[in-house]
Amino acid sequence: MKENKKITLNRKWFTVILSILIFFIHNPLYILEPLAGLDHSWALGLEWAKLKGLSFGRDIAFTYGPLHFLAYGMVSIGDHSLLLWESLIYCITHIVIIFMYVYQFAGLLYKKRWGDYSLTDRILLILGLFLIIAFLSFAFIESILVFSCFLFVRLVFHIDLSKSNKKQYLLNILLNAILLSLAGMTKFNYTIEALTLIGIAVFGLIYQRKILFIVYILSTFIIFTIGFWLLSGQSLSTLPDYYIYGSEIVSGYTEAMKFQNTYGGFRHELFSLFVLLFVGSLSFLFFFVKKDFYHAFILFILLPLLFMAFKGGFVRADDGHRCYFFLQLVPCLIFLIEFLVESVPFSYKKIWKIFVICVIPVTSIILSREEFTRGFSNTVEYPLQSLLSADINTKRVDRYKDSLRTSYDPLPATFLQQAKGKTVDIIPWDIALLYAYDLNWSPRPVFQSYSAYTSFLDSINAQHFKGDKAPDNVIYLYNSIDDRYPLFDEPMVFRSLLENYEVQSPDNYLILQRRQRQKNYQYTFISEGVCPIGATINIPQLEGQHIYCNINIQKKLYGKLLTVLYKLPEPVRIYFYVKDRPKPIIHRFIPNLGTDGLFVSKYVFNLSDIYHIFEPNYEQDIEKIEIHIDNMFFYEQKMRYEFYSAPFSNIVRDK
């Protein structure tokens, strides 16, 4: 008895000391400087939205939720109390997760003497501790979800409903609900993973005839989800919208953000991925055939996490996303190692098979880590100074704003004077510019244009510029990503701006002002037709008319299926045949937005062209367009198109 108490005490001390060491080694207190650029702007925008009291799900439609800072850190934008509060939550959750992982492994280390473990088990234990110490903090939210897998396995296979286990049973249920709801409030993608894990656990509990567990798991998850939503300052009425907007963004992400793979130096990672899938599948089939549902369940419950990690890493397929995919494998490998060592009945040979899964991706992680850590180059030096002193934090924020202003061309002094007391939005994404000049940001729900992946998202943004919350001014920059045509990122938004705003002369920026008197366009149908994809579509030439086009491209069933499972191999491209230009101008085209009313009167080269469209004072120069898809196997052969117009004279100017 005394020996057991001593082992328990040693395990606790080992866990506490190692957890604290890991915490300070990694210094996970990521307080980020606000920087210019696409990714930095959305991180700043989320923090600024919270500071302005905007609601996720009503005012903001984004994949990240109100606890977004748990995924990548806090952005220092000036509010000291908010920074302090978020940093406290961030540090507590990190140290708790690290503690739980270390405690799990400490249980194995103190379960029996080191010499009693086989050589394979010793290697696995050393590997597991190395992964926890070196890499766990780099995939923090995934670590939360994987630890939830630990708890689900315990609930399904190890804990019964006897009175002696009641305390352990309740603790597992409550801890699981906290972890899953925390993850779901961080990013909508994690909500999908959390619900999938719950679904797998429900099937396991039905198989084990533990029906009461299902009620507790579902009810506690709902309660804690609502609780964290309310504690983060959100209204309960906007929670359904958070899920609706999140599902729209997730559904459109693959089509809009897929990138052709240029694997280059990532061949070793691909080999690792192949081994992982091959050996994992064989192991699962072996367990299932042998009716070893315990270990089959262990592998199966990791499947949704691995799938979402794979989609996140290989749809975009740049170096950063692929590095992050392999870092997300870390908690999954730790999970497997823990159960491998604990599962005594396995023979050496069977353990070795899954050991291969663990070892080869670790090589990839180590080789990829340098690429990944570049993303944290904007971490604030000496973050504790900003936390402990509001004055130091304020001075730093002022320096950040000065630095941001030098990153952009200066805004016109006349506009800055005019914008005092007025609301402003910016297109397509440079929120940092508004922050640098202390402008009153009034964002559209999807506040970065390239992220309005679907017609629904485009429509809620377009409606924003017509409604009561429409900004008084819009700063318009001509830019996009992945060689897209900027006007086709938000076709409905461009039309809404044309209806409701007038333009000032372009300089480095195009400034749009909201009209006092609004009048909608009277749209007139011109023509429609069906043609094979790749055929030439002639643009109607009508003087004094804005011409719009809807293009409806449909995937075949297996094309839709591949989009869900991975991505289609080739992007869709649009060819513009412009007057007096011998060759077509080619852009990436997003079919999901094809029916949103594409402006096809004039090809826009720069801000000056947009200015003339708003005047309106331009000549039509797009003569015809073509849609090209290299691999037609996944698409229907024909597409439908239609044209409609609106006369220049329908624009009403303020006097």
What is the DSSP code string of 118-174?
A: -HHHHHHHHHHHHHHHHHGGGGHHHHHHHHHHHHHHHHHHT--SSGGGHHHHHHHHH
As given in the structure block, the two tokens for residue 418 are: 């005019």
What sign has the CA pseudo-torsion 350, 328, 250, 150? positive
Query: With 0-12 CB in 10 A as exposed, 13-18 as middle and 19+ as buried, what is 344?
Result: exposed
Measured between alpha carbons, how far is 119 from 103 in angstroms, rounded to an integer?
22
> Taking the model in full, what pTM does it have?
0.90
Does residue 333 lie in a domain region? Answer: no
Does residue 60 lie in a domain region? Answer: no
Measured between alpha carbons, how far is 313 from 322 in angstroms, rounded to an integer?
4
Domain match, 631 and 568 both = yes
Domain match, 537 and 504 both = no
Q: Of 257, 238, 270, whose CA–CA distance to 60 is shortest?
A: 238
Domain match, 632 and 562 both = yes
Measured between alpha carbons, how far is 556 from 638 in angstroms, rounded to an integer?
11
Domain match, 482 and 540 both = no
Structural domain count, the chain:
2
Note down the domain range covering 573.
524-650
Among 514, 534, 556, the domain-final residue is 514
Domain match, 430 and 507 both = yes
What backbone torsions phi and psi does residue 222 show, to the nearest 5 degrees? -65, -45
Does residue 181 lie in a domain region? Answer: no
Q: Tell me if 495 sits within 8 A of 601, measured CB to CB.
A: no
Q: How many other C-beta atoms are found inside a 10 Å radius of the C-beta of residue 16?
A: 14
Residue spans of the chain under pLDDT 70: 1-9, 27-29, 159-165, 261-276, 279, 343-383, 518-520, 650-655
Domain match, 475 and 530 both = no
Domain match, 481 and 567 both = no
Domain match, 468 and 535 both = no
Predicted pLDDT of residue 526 = 96
Three-state DSSP state, 449: helix
Among 514, 547, 582, the domain-final residue is 514
Predicted pLDDT of residue 380 = 55
Does residue 572 lie in a domain region? Answer: yes
Measured between alpha carbons, how far is 338 from 343 in angstroms, rounded to an integer?
9
Does residue 543 lie in a domain region? Answer: yes
Domain match, 552 and 594 both = yes
Half-sphere exposure for 624 (CA within 13 Å, toward CB)? 10
Does residue 270 lie in a domain region? Answer: no
* pLDDT (tens digit per residue) in 172-215: 889 999 999 999 999 999 999 999 999 999 998 888 888 888 88
Does residue 462 lie in a domain region? Answer: yes
Domain match, 431 and 505 both = yes
DSSP-derived pairing of the beta strands 536-538 and 524-532 = unpaired
Domain match, 452 and 554 both = no
Does residue 634 lie in a domain region? Answer: yes
Among 485, 514, 543, the domain-final residue is 514
DSSP class of residue 410 equals P
Predicted pLDDT of residue 330 = 83
Measured between alpha carbons, how far is 487 from 494 in angstroms, rounded to an integer?
7
